[in-house]
């Protein structure tokens, strides 16, 4: 929207002003507001009232605006009347911001958003008449209630998310969602769009400015990355409110600086670590909202509302718990230097352990060898002293054989230990190869092609499999152009190993291509209409095609021979596929 670039970390002066769209004027520090209140003596309230309104009482005021409880005389209804304090002395920025907020609120029509009734200008002071809500803000209500039961919290946040989704549908991002900006009347209503941002409008927030309330800010908002603050930032704030409803406190607490640092760098505690009895699905929904990366959260507030509705109805939810490996990977992406150090330390410890075991075994072998030498010396002495005693000599020879066997056994143990060490080293290299593939793929996703190729080149050639080929092709996707169809291509599908590609076209044919050479392998002809969908079987041995002629055909992917025609469909076949194991038949779908 059009917030004042000099105002950051804004909260309204009190819950009533906040709930009815009061002007941002304070900074939250350790959950305590340092309020900046205009103490200029106010004129008689009704002297300030626009025509058609009678002011009854003041609800609150901030650095820029004042909110009155007023009566709209013509319609005989109570409204919240918001006006700029400075009147004719208001800056152009103040006027623009006030009118932009009015525009944002007026654009949203939803039962969970405070409605605007009237907008005007009286004596040089812009005003807007808002829906009056006497239920109070969510902040004191939560303070009185403490932790909410899980289903009650889910239903409450679903309604709030529906209101935020209505704003998102209008291209409006609130950017300051918190309990103090939610009014109960009695159903929850989203209020105070003073920091809102509308798509298509100039954003006066300078890059690097931190706007909002720290405890409910998304990481990108806390870092001042204003160009990345979109609907998912509101989803994060909704998750922070859900967290507070379930645990009695926001995810992070402390001074402003401490909270901003924690929001940007630290993972929040899990709901179940604070309230063990919380249902797992609801805790996972909350964790997804509070993900550090915007793309890992729900894309819109509407998606979150639908998920909460499924939970409240006892239906399965889409979110699932991430595994230890994924958690470790996320941590490593956030702290790559520390992760590399830990990995190196682990490798050194493992190798040192194997080295110690090998040293012990070699020492045993050496000891056995020394014992054998002593036995042989003893045997020689015995032979000199007792040449006539065969029994004694035979016993000495037997001892030598035993010692030799023990030495051989020790050598065998040393060989086994060496083999185990080699296997462990090989396993470590394979794990490192897998990690390199993940990092290379991430570099490609972030358009760091050179870095991705450098990682691919650093791998051992004998370890390279389909995944290496896949990422390598992604990095060289621009060098392969397939030509051969005479009309528009409608569908394409890779074989499981990525070595072949099948395409369908409006020219009524499907073609099989060698993706390594970019050469046409087969042309599949037989449909009487345009080919609309194609797919390989899991083993790559067959191809299925769907067409405008209301049929699907199965082909031999090596010879191009038509194996089967599927009739009975009543319209264009828009989707075809094999069952996952390739043995249960073909799925064909019409509109």
SS (H, E, C) 329-369: HHHHHHCHHHHHHHHHHHHHHHHHHHHHHHHHHHHHHHHHH
Q: How many CB atoms lie within 10 A of CB 160?
A: 28
Tell me if domain 146-182+200-331 and domain 480-589 are identical in fold: no
Residue with tokens 């990355």: 225
User: For strand 197-198 and strand 188-190, is the pairing parallel, antiparallel, or unpaired?
Assistant: unpaired
Structurally, at CATH architecture level, domain 146-182+200-331 sits in Orthogonal Bundle (1.10)
SS3 state at 480:
coil
Please say whether the beta carbons of 492 and 504 come within 8 A: yes
**Closest C-alpha among 586, 563, 583, 561 to residue 573:** 586
- Residues ≥6 apart with Cβ < 8 Å to 571: 550, 590, 591
Q: Which of 3.40.50.2300, 1.10.287.70, 3.30.200.20, 3.90.950.10 would CATH assign to domain 10-131?
A: 3.30.200.20
The CA-based angle 239-173-67, given to 5 degrees, is 95
Q: What is the pLDDT of residue 15?
A: 40
Q: Is 137 exposed, middle or buried (0-12, 13-18, 19+ CB in 10 A)?
A: buried
Residue of 131, 119, 101 whose CA lies nearest to 50: 119
For the chain, how many residues are written? Answer: 591
pLDDT of residue 84: 83
Three-state DSSP class for 552?
strand
Which residues neighbour 402 within 8 Å (Cβ) at sequence distance 6 or greater? Answer: none
pLDDT of residue 218: 92
**For the domain bounded by 480-589, which CATH number is listed?**
2.130.10.10
Name residues whose C-beta falls within 8 Å of residue 432's C-beta, 6 or more positions apart in sequence.
none
| CA nearest to 126, candidates 50, 193, 69 | 50
Q: Report the pLDDT value the prediction gives residue 87, as an integer from 0 to 100.
A: 54
Where do the domains of the chain lie? 10-131, 146-182+200-331, 336-445, 480-589
| pLDDT string in tens for the chain (591-residue length) | 323 322 233 333 334 334 454 433 333 333 333 333 333 334 446 767 899 999 999 888 766 778 899 999 999 999 999 988 765 556 777 777 777 778 888 889 999 999 999 988 888 788 889 999 888 889 999 999 889 999 999 999 999 999 999 999 999 999 999 999 999 888 999 988 888 887 766 554 544 456 678 999 999 988 887 777 899 999 999 999 999 999 999 999 999 999 999 998 899 999 999 999 999 999 999 999 999 999 999 999 999 999 999 999 999 999 876 544 445 445 455 556 665 666 666 666 667 666 777 777 788 778 878 887 777 877 777 777 777 777 766 877 888 888 889 888 888 998 998 989 989 999 999 999 999 999 999 999 888 888 999 999 999 999 888 899 989 888 876 667 788 999 999 999 999 888 899 999 999 999 999 988 888 999 999 999 999 999 999 999 999 999 999 999 999 999 999 999 988 888 888 899 998 887 656 666 666
176 is catalytic: yes
Given the residues 4, 14, 176, 548, the one annotated as active site: 176
Task: For residue 264, give both structure tokens.
Answer: 């940007």
- pTM passes above 0.75: no
**pLDDT of the residue at 398:** 81
Asked if 60 and 16 count as a contact pair (C-beta separation under 8 A), the reply is yes
- In order of 140, 369, 406, the CA distances from 399 in angstroms are 90, 13, 10
Q: CA 244, 248, 252 angle in degrees (round to 5)?
A: 55
Contacts of 159 by beta carbon, 8 Å cutoff, 6+ apart: 112, 187, 188
Separation between Cα atoms, residue 513 and residue 383, nearest integer Å: 84
């Amino acid at each position: 929207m059009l917030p004042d670039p000099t105002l950051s970390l804004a909260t309204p002066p009190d819950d009533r002003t906040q709930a009815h769209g009061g002007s941002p004027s304070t900074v939250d520090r350790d959950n305590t507001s340092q309020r900046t209140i205009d103490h200029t003596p106010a004129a008689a309230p009704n002297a300030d009232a626009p025509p058609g309104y009678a002011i009854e009482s003041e609800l609150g005021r901030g650095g820029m605006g004042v909110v009155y409880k007023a009566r709209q005389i013509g319609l005989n209804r109570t409204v919240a009347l918001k006006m700029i304090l400075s009147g004719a002395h208001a800056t152009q920025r103040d006027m623009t911001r006030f009118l932009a907020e009015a525009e944002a609120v007026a654009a949203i029509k939803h039962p969970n958003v405070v409605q605007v009734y009237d907008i005007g200008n009286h004596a040089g002071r812009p005003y807007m008449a808002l829906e009056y809500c006497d239920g109070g803000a969510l902040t004191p209500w939560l303070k009185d209630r403490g932790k909410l039961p899980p289903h009650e919290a889910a239903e409450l946040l679903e309604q709030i998310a529906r209101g935020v989704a209505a704003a998102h549908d209008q291209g409006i991002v609130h950017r300051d969602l918190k309990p103090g900006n939610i009014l109960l009347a009695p159903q929850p209503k989203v209020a105070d769009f003073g920091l809102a941002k509308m798509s298509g409008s100039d954003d006066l927030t300078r890059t690097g400015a931190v706007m909002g309330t720290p405890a409910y800010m998304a990481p990108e908002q806390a870092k001042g990355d204003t160009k990345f603050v979109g609907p998912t930032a509101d989803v994060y704030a909704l998750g922070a409110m859900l967290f507070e409803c379930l645990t009695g406190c926001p995810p992070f607490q402390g001074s402003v600086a401490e909270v901003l640092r924690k929001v940007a760098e630290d993972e929040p505690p899990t709901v179940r670590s604070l309230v063990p009895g919380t249902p797992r699905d609801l805790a996972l929904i909350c964790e997804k909202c509070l993900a550090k990366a915007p793309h890992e959260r729900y894309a819109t507030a509407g998606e979150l509302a639908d998920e909460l509705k499924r939970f409240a109805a006892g239906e399965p939810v889409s979110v699932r718990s991430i595994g230890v490996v994924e958690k470790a990977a996320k941590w490593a992406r956030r702290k790559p230097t520390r992760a590399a150090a830990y990995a190196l330390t682990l490798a050194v410890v493992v190798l040192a352990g194997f080295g110690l075991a090998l040293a012990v075994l070699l020492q045993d072998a050496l000891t056995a060898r020394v014992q054998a030498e002593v036995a042989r010396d003893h045997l020689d002495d015995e032979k000199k002293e007792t040449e006539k005693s065969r029994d004694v000599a035979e016993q000495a020879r037997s001892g030598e054989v035993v010692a030799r066997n023990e030495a051989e056994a020790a050598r065998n143990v040393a060989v086994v230990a060496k083999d185990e060490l080699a296997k462990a080293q090989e396993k470590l290299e394979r794990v490192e190869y897998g990690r390199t593939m993940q990092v290379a793929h991430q570099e490609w996703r972030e358009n760091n092609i050179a870095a991705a190729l450098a990682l691919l080149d650093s791998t051992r050639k004998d370890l390279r499999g389909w995944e290496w080929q896949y990422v390598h092709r992604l990095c060289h996707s621009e060098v392969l152009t397939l030509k051969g169809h005479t009309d528009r291509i409608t569908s394409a599908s890779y074989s499981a190993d990525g070595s072949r590609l099948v395409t369908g076209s409006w020219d009524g044919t499907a073609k099989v291509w060698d993706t390594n050479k970019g050469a046409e392998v087969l042309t599949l002809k037989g449909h009487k209409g345009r080919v609309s969908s194609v797919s390989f079987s899991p083993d790559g041995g067959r191809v299925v095609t769907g067409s405008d002629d209301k049929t699907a055909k199965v082909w031999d992917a090596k010879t191009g021979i038509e194996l089967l025609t599927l009739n009975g469909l009543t319209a264009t076949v828009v989707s075809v596929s094999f069952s996952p194991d390739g043995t249960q038949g073909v799925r064909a779908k019409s509109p």
